[in-house]
Amino acid sequence: MQKLRRSKCDNLLTLLSYLPRGISRAIVPAAMALTACMPPSAVQFDEPYAAAPADHAVDWHDYQTKATTGTQPPPLSSRSHEESPIDTKLTYDLPALVDLALHANPETRVSWEEAKAAAARLEMNRSAWYPTLTAMAFGQYFKNSFPIPGGALVSHGYSSLGSLNLAWTLFDFGRREAMVDAGAQRLSAANFAFNRKHQEIAYRVATGFFAYQAALAKVTAAEQTFEAARAGSASVQAKLEKGLATRPDLLLAIQEQAKASYDLQDTRSSVIQTHADLTSSLGISPSYSLQLIDLSKLPLPAGLVQSVEKIVDQALEQRPDLMARLAELRAREAEVKKARAEFWPKFSLGGSLGNQAWRNVHTNPPGNESYSASNLVGTAMLSMEWTLFDGFERSNAVHEAEARKEASKAQLEALRLEIMRDIWKAYADTKTALEKREFALALLKAAEESYAATQESYTHGFSTVIELLSAQKDLARARYTEIDSRATLLRSAATLVYASGGQSRNATD
């Protein structure tokens, strides 16, 4: 059998690891949660259970890491699923939220159990290499009566047999090798799928976290707008009392204050919705209250420093779901080999060893003659089984296996094209988000200056209330635009990391 080969595993820095130092402390560990150290594509496992992931919250790594580095696999999590996973004294940043999700979200346990099931199936396939030993025991009591002149001959007794039977397939032209290879490939595919599930959950947590933080920031912005609107109404009321404003001016100011109050309640409702979405990604109840850091104070990526072509190349080499699809293709190829091997005979060794006991007693006519025997019995044989004709069942099985292999090959190509499309789109979205961020900051600065100037001008009677309210609306929109641009940039960068499989380097600085 082939040994499981260790694939090259670099220090997996992600796109977001090249952000400025401030944001990297919050985002890089989450991006690292999107990464996975990629095992080989064609493997044969000596210890399949050790090759499965050791914990539902820890990425799968090559089981030979233990032998090469001297480290032990991570222990099973001691966290009880019935206990509350929330630490009320902890202020969660993004890496802590990702870690919480990997422990609490049941989807990680689903993919973990599926990987363990694949390891068990591999071990079941490998059992075909071993002989089968069965024990058999047989016993009976009998009573016979035969008519004879003057009466009947009656006898009774018992017999027993105990044996051990051995069956061992010696040579089958590659059937077992193909089954074991297919099982090993599917275990590899399950492990890659396990890693991709971790990346998916980390991505969902990151995007949910960004959306929730944006909703909180909009509440703050809405509160500022409401306070400005209320101050504006008070200012118009004061002018009206001095005869420097009209009743319609006051009504417009009151209308704008009511609109600001409505927007404030709407943003508070969005906080509840985004909080529910975030807790769903975390795998906890929405009733839990989380203390989170304020992401709005952290710096953002300054730009993209890696070409989209290089990111695509790295993704095609390392994305877990693509590696899983490739492993499935290798498993299909092994199934084709097994189907073709069915045309050849199988050679097996069989045998049995046991003891046979027998006793017979004549009870009539008198004399009670008794007979008994006990002897060791054994057999050994070498057999060949060769199906010569089966109504073309084996031929059709080969055709089916080949068709499934070609379908798997087409699925692999379709996923490759999908990955390329997703990366190009995420790259373009990130690039656009970086540019829009600059315009959003400029817009906010201009709106703040315009509102301050208009408010000063209105105080001295040089501007109308309509101009003041218009500047106030523009400032509110600019605040929302700045918040959306921040959230969009973070979400686009996270999407680019997720689309690339978390393996791209030097993408942003």
User: Taking the mean position of all CA atoms in its chain, how far away is CA 471?
Assistant: 48
Q: How confident is the model at residue 215 (pLDDT cuts 50, 70, 90)?
A: very high
pLDDT at 290: 84
> At which residue do the structure tokens 């914990």 appear?
55
pLDDT at 103 over 60: yes
Higher pLDDT, 409 or 306: 409
The identity of residue 272, as a single letter, is I
CA 92 – CA 282 distance, rounded (Å): 12
CA 112 – CA 110 distance, rounded (Å): 5
CA 437 – CA 440 distance, rounded (Å): 5
Least confident of 75-79, 251-255, 282-286: 75-79
Q: How many C-alpha atoms does 230 have within 13 Å on its Cβ side?
A: 9
Average pLDDT, integer, range 169-180 = 95
What's the token pair of residue 311? Answer: 């990111």
pLDDT at 398 over 70: yes
Higher pLDDT, 396 or 21: 396
pLDDT at 246: 86
Query: From the CA atom positions of the chain, what is the Rg in Å?
Result: 38
Among 228, 214, 212, residue whose Cα is nearest residue 475: 228
pLDDT at 403: 97
- The count of residues in the chain is 509
Question: 376: helix, coil or strand?
Answer: strand
Say if CB 492 and CB 19 are below 8 A apart: no
Average pLDDT, integer, range 172-201 = 95
Say if CB 183 and CB 126 are below 8 A apart: yes
**Strands (DSSP E) along 120-206, which ranges?**
132-148, 151-171
* Whether the predicted model's global pTM rises above the 0.85 cut: no
> At which residue do the structure tokens 């595993």 appear?
9
pLDDT at 459: 86
Higher pLDDT, 7 or 113: 113
Q: How confident is the model at residue 481 (pLDDT cuts 50, 70, 90)?
A: very high
Question: 137: helix, coil or strand?
Answer: strand
Domains present along the chain, CATH in parentheses: 87-130+172-345+393-500 (1.20.1600.10), 133-171+347-385 (2.20.200)
pLDDT at 297: 67
The identity of residue 318, as a single letter, is Q
pLDDT at 130 over 50: yes
E strand or H helix at 215 = helix 175-241
CA 242 – CA 236 distance, rounded (Å): 10
Among 100, 115, 113, residue whose Cα is nearest residue 280: 100
pLDDT at 299: 65
Among 208, 220, 256, residue whose Cα is nearest residue 235: 256
